[in-house]
Structure formats: structure tokens, C-alpha cells
Amino acid sequence: MLTLKQTDRIVVLTGAGISAESGIPTFRDAMEGLWSEFEPEELATLSAFKKNPKLVLDWYEWRIKAFVDKAIPNPAHMALVKWEEYFDHFTLITQNVDGLHIKAGNKNVIEFHGNIKRMKCLGHNHKFAWIRDGEEIPLCSVCNSMLRPDVVFFNELIDSENLQAANKAVRNCDVFFAVGTSGVVYPAAGYIEVAQKLGARTCVVNTDPHYPSSKRDPTVFLRGKAGEVLPNIPLE
Ligand code: OAD
């Protein structure tokens, strides 16, 4: 069994799987009902937003109301709050945009793909909490340009500060966990191999028994639900 004794620097990368037990469908499962006719790639892109901002904002607003606002952190999120309190150097990199790690109480969270409850303007990236009560396309109160979701759309670059902070933490960790992520979207997907190559112990927590083996060896693979596995990993 994996133990985290004598671990000083730990990085945890999380994906949609850690929020599944909070009722938030994984990224590609969310396309149900009236949205089933679309692929995420048709909605979560800057070109899609510029072509039809109302449609894209409607989709994000649906996700916020249908899932995010109702979601509460699950035992996996709570376990990582304990880990942050326990370890001297703990970095949490999340690909999720649902804000659940912060809601759970984690402080040092790198929201690698942004946060669905924030917006930013096309003009100068001025940031706002999600504000759209009825008007079709909210405008920036500073520069009057259109507001879009403050999330990383497909084919967009990761915020440079987030990228630097994540790269630094991964390159200096003793232990690296990938929790509830399919490991297909870069640069986050490449972190487990970077950590391995630099001598860190690596661990995958995932329900999928077919997690790509190339990313697994010599990783410890803990198959199961994050909400059941993480709380049972001994810290001592
Ligand atoms: P995915 O939906 O691609 O993968 C979710 C992973 O979680 C899968 O490997 C599941 O097997 C696993 N899983 C599901 N339920 C689980 C549970 N209860 N416990 C543990 N594992 C579980 O989501 P991500 O890997 O997060 O990017 O997707 C990465 C990125 O792809 C997203 O951030 C999004 C998308 O393109 C952007 O929006 C830029």
C-alpha cells in the first residue's frame, strides 16, 4: 500500500473524475439533453463564442445551474484539504472549472483551466464573477467589450502564471498524484511523466482499469472512486 511518510513536496493533479461523486458529469458526459447535438469542441472555443456568444453563454449558464451551483465537495475534496494542512509543500493543480476545491477549503489551488463562475472581457481580460442575469451578452464595465467565461477554451494557451507555477511544482516534487483525469489533454497530461523522469514517486487514482499503461508504469495505480481511495491513503 502506498504511504506518504517522509514526503516533503507533493503535487496533486485532479480532473473531472474527482467531481463525479459531487454530481458533476465528467467533461464529455455533460453533453446531454438539448446539448447532445453538440460536441464540446463546438462550444468551448473562442471561434464558437465569437460566432454565437449567446449559445456559448447559454451552455455555460446551463452547466452552472444544472450542476456547479448544486455541487458540494465530496470526501475526495475534503481529503485534499487535509493533505494541504499536513504537508509543508502541497500544490493542487486542477483541470476542473467547478471551483469545488476552493469551496472545500483548499487555499493553494492552480485552476489550470479557469473557473466557470468567473468571466473575463475580450478586450483586456478584466475579470468578474459570473454576471448574466437575463441580458444576452454582458459587457465589461471597464472597457465595454464582451464578457466570456474565464475558462481555457480548446486550443487556447494556459495562463502563463498558472503554467509557470505548475511546471515549477511538478519539477520539484517527491510525490505526484493524478486523480480522476483521463490524461489526454496537454500540458496537464504530460506532468506525470515529467515527475517520473525527475525521480518522483507517482500514483494514479482512477476508476478506469484501462488507464493508459504508458502513463502508469512505474506508477502505483489505485483503481477506485477518488472519494473512497483518497481518504484511506495513510499520511503517516
Ligand atoms: P475526463 O472526462 O476526460 O476524464 C475523467 C477521468 O476520471 C476518466 O479517466 C474516468 O475514468 C475518471 N473517473 C470518473 N469517475 C471517477 C471517480 N469517481 N474517481 C476517480 N476517477 C474517476 O476529464 P479530464 O481528464 O478532467 O479541458 O479532462 C481534461 C480536460 O479535457 C478538461 O479539463 C477539459 C477537457 O478538454 C478544457 O476544458 C480545456
Domain boundaries, the chain: 9-23+73-113+157-232, 33-69+122-151
Query: CA-to-CA distance for 130 and 226, rounded, in angstroms?
Result: 29
Instruction: Name the residue with cell 493543480.
Output: 93
The single residue of 113, 124, 126, 210 carrying the catalytic annotation is: 113
CA of 98 to the centre of ligand 1 (A): 13
pTM of the entire predicted model: 0.95
SS3 8: coil
The distance of Cα 223 from the centroid of its chain, to the nearest Å, equals: 20
**Which set of grid coordinates corresponds to residue 49?**
463564442
Query: Strand pairing partners for 119?
Result: 128, 149
Identify the residues whose C-beta falls under 6 Å from ligand 1.
15-17, 20-21, 26-28, 44, 95, 113, 152, 180-182, 185, 205-208, 225-226
pLDDT recorded at residue 56 = 95
SS3 12: strand
CA of 6 to the centre of ligand 1 (A): 30
Q: Which candidate, 180, 169, 166, places its Cα nearest to that of 225?
A: 180
Q: Which atom of ligand 1 is nearest to the CA of 225?
A: 19
The answer to whether 127 and 46 have CB atoms below 8 angstroms apart is no
Q: Domain 9-23+73-113+157-232, CATH 3.40.50.1220 — does that match?
A: yes
3-class secondary structure for 91-156?
EEEECCCCCHHHHHCCCCEEECCEEEEEEEECCCCCEEECCCCCCCCCECCCCCCEEEEEECCCCC
Q: Which candidate, 1, 40, 4, 14, places its Cα nearest to that of 174?
A: 4
Query: CA-to-CA distance for 63 and 59, rounded, in angstroms?
Result: 6
The answer to whether 170 and 187 have CB atoms below 8 angstroms apart is no
Q: Please report, in tens digits, the pLDDT of each residue of the chain (236 residues total).
A: 567 888 899 999 999 999 999 999 886 565 566 667 778 778 999 999 999 999 999 999 999 999 999 999 999 999 999 999 999 999 999 999 999 999 999 999 999 999 999 999 999 999 999 988 666 899 999 999 999 999 999 999 999 999 999 999 999 999 999 999 999 899 999 999 999 999 999 999 999 988 877 777 778 999 999 999 999 999 98
Query: CA-to-CA distance for 68 and 145, rounded, in angstroms?
Result: 26
Establish whether 113 is a catalytic residue. yes
The answer to whether 95 and 188 have CB atoms below 8 angstroms apart is yes
What CATH superfamily is the domain 33-69+122-151? SIR2/SIRT2 'Small Domain' (3.30.1600.10)
